[in-house]
Structure 1
């Protein structure tokens, strides 16, 4: 069975209680001002009753006690207003003190207990408990009392009320009626106070949830704006540099007929792998562009080496292995390519550190460069070369599996293989 007590998340507890203290303090002060004005009228009526001979200074009576109670109420309200003025809240962000909490709680308890005393005295005058009813409901609806505080205050006032009317009410039928009505009243007032307090918790949680959702939406919108701005900047830079890129790409393909379409296919494999890994749109765009230009450095490789039908000797391999650095140097002059220069330079690094040009190992190799390495290998295996025929994609996947942990990043290879197996 769910608990009737709503639970505040720990991170909101202090903020909620600060809000409750602030509201109780301000509402108690405003109510005290209203009651002070009303109490002046009550004292005026007491004096009028004195003039009409309803009570005398030295003769105990209900009217004399009522006058003393009104004077006492005025004194307490004046002290409360004075203390609340000294501890007044000047701004929303002012730090709350123990005084603010004590004053709000004291005022609530005092009004309920004082209402009980008034209704006890009323047994000598009118046999009514109207003030007790009004005071209890007024505090239950005006202030937010914690359940433990409200049940303590209401129970104390009920005990005081029962004891008081038992001694002052001589009519047993009236006494019985007041017992029943007082009990019903105090249960209703506490339940009302408890319900309003729980509603306040629910309202506070709802406000915080809405604020959190609004913040998430705002952050998401800001991210979208930032991504959009970056895309616009990248597209603008791409427009400015596209003629250079097309010229370089055409020059490379004219030098090496076997690499025609290679960069585009590698870019598509790399993009597919980036999407499989769930990378951001920005990373997908970066890896696609870097893959398009990863071999651009081959434009500086002599045709004799680039188009050699047989295997390269050690000296020729040394020259061929310089193409990542050449590609980095060529693209360093293009503003839109500066953020993926490391991907061009390191796309031939091996996961075990045996690659080139810098012999990087494992996590030292940029993550997106590791993606391009796999995409490059897949297309190289499945494309026709002067020294061997093209192989199937299944053969390429087997080669990737063999190279896990040595040439390739194991986790990325596994994701690539699983994506093909799933398809």
Structure 2
């Protein structure tokens, strides 16, 4: 097959195993009924014929409370409504999201996933253990355990750079601690047969930590397939008022440069322009207070909605907003909302740096201004609003076309299967020194 994203020379000779015979264990601390991109990736892999199971924790994100019907101490195997198996290990909930509980939440999945995951999956054979490595990278330790016990190829899909993300968010500042995290990250990378990077900018950074013995390949996040479906009939769960509605959808956290959004909104005098924040996160309460203190009548904190509600919300949006803080690590990141925004076919307003801004410009799908530039963001809001409807529709159409060509779930799932085959080949014929 012709690869949209050429894989490394080490992978070019991989093959042999038929897709229908490919048994994949996905390791992800977060999974359905939590709303994460990996849910759609699993569906896409199954649609392509893979036999997929999932090892996850007890659902508790984003509010830090275990979902109804689950228990923090639960140890169970259940069936997803689509018919595949999900293995659940005990997990300490995030609770209020404070430092102690967040760390214990991460460590509990690593401990119980590594110790009890093999028990839940006893007697089952896997060809690939696929780790969805949103922060923290510690989840890769669980994959390493399964690689050792099951003899499966170990693939880690790196979604966040460590230790850079810890340093730039200020979560860890001590240089010795950061050096220790880098050594641990190198150890985890070294136990993988293949590392996948969610952005091209990640590849060099990962290689610098992983060393020469581990293959690193670019594999982007797909867009959300639900956005491409028809908008449901009936009243949407959120009805946007008349006017030019700029919708931000997703996590409202420390990395999203929300001060910049509020500063930009405070500069807007046009009464038709409104910023609608759809989602929740660690800064939700702060946002509510700031909107009140600043008297911002053009910013709406709409709350969180399920994934199947988003097509109806996006269909009403005049534009879709994505923002990030200014930092070296974040400039290498492509936020997972961008492919979904492209799929929605609406013009995009971006206030960020680096690879994500270049993607939006390459796709001709909107306007990108530098990270934390509230003046530039306010001017971009006005410029987009004052464009003709035809010009904005052209941006949305170009974004959808870019999504179909580069970021649609089905072709990316086929690419991912080829990466799995590559890892299986390398697992059977390891290069360099043994890493068992």
TM-score by length of 1: 0.24
Which one has the bigger helix percentage?
1
Structure ranking higher on relative contact order (CA contacts 8 Å, 6+ apart): 2
Which one has the bigger strand percentage?
2
TM-score by length of 2: 0.24
| Larger of the two Rg values belongs to structure | 1
